[in-house]
Amino acid sequence: MLTELLDDLRAEHDELVRLVLEADLDQPVPAEPWDVRDTVSHLLVADAKGLLAATDPDVFNAELPQVLADPSGFLDGWLAAGKGLAKDVLVEKWHRGFELMVEAFATLPMATKVPWYGPPMSPASFATARLMEYWAHGQDVVDAVGAERLPTARLRHIAHLGVRTRGFSYAVRGLTAPEGEVRVTLKAPDGSTWEWGSGDDAVIGPAEDFCLRVTQRRHRDDTALVTTGPLADDWMDHAQCFAGLPTDGRPKK
32 and 83 in a single domain? The answer is yes
pLDDT of residue 119: 87
* Residue 253 within a domain: no
Per residue in 141-179, pLDDT tens? 999 999 999 999 999 999 999 999 999 999 999 999 999
Q: In the listed set 89, 116, 143, which residue is the last one of a domain according to the structure?
A: 116
Nearest partner of 202 among 177, 231, 245, 180, judged by Cα: 231
Chain centroid to CA 247: 14
* Residue 247 within a domain: no
106 and 162 in a single domain? The answer is no
Average pLDDT, the chain: 96
pLDDT of residue 200: 95
DSSP string covering the chain, please? -HHHHHHHHHHHHHHHHHHHHTS-TT-B-SSTT-BHHHHHHHHHHHHHHHHHHHH-HHHHHHHHHHHHH-HHHHHHHGGGGGTT--HHHHHHHHHHHHHHHHHHHHTS-TT--B--SSS-B-HHHHHHHHHHHHHHHHHHHHHHHT------TTHHHHHHHHHHTHHHHHHTTT--PPSS--EEEEE-TTS-EEEE--SS-EEEEEHHHHHHHHTTSS-GGGS--EEESHHHHHHHHH---SSSS----SPP-
* Residue 246 within a domain: no
pTM over 0.75: yes
* Residue 142 within a domain: no
* Residue 111 within a domain: yes
163 and 90 in a single domain? The answer is no
The one-letter code for the residue type at 201 is D
How does pLDDT run along the chain (253 residues), one tens digit per residue?
899 999 999 999 999 999 999 999 999 999 889 999 999 999 999 999 999 999 999 999 999 998 888 988 998 999 999 999 999 999 999 999 999 999 999 999 999 999 998 889 999 999 999 999 999 999 999 999 999 999 999 999 999 999 999 999 999 999 999 999 999 999 999 999 999 999 899 999 999 999 999 999 999 999 999 999 999 999 999 999 998 889 988 999 8
How many residues are recorded in the chain?
Answer: 253
111 and 14 in a single domain? The answer is yes
Q: How many domains in the chain?
A: 2
98 and 37 in a single domain? The answer is yes
pLDDT of residue 68: 84
107 and 203 in a single domain? The answer is no
16 and 111 in a single domain? The answer is yes
Full residue range of the structural domain in which residue 165 is found: 157-238
169 and 109 in a single domain? The answer is no
pLDDT of residue 159: 98
83 and 7 in a single domain? The answer is yes
* Residue 251 within a domain: no
* Residue 177 within a domain: yes
| CB-based contact 105:72 (threshold 8 Å) | no
| Cα 43 to Cα 6: distance, rounded to the nearest angstrom | 16
8 and 84 in a single domain? The answer is yes
* Residue 105 within a domain: yes
pLDDT of residue 118: 83
Q: In the listed set 116, 141, 174, which residue is the last one of a domain according to the structure?
A: 116
101 and 30 in a single domain? The answer is yes
Q: In the listed set 90, 116, 142, which residue is the last one of a domain according to the structure?
A: 116
Per residue in 9-30, pLDDT tens? 999 999 999 999 999 999 999 9
Neighbour tally for 192: CB within 10 Å: 10
Burial of 19 (0-12, 13-18, 19+ CB in 10 A): middle
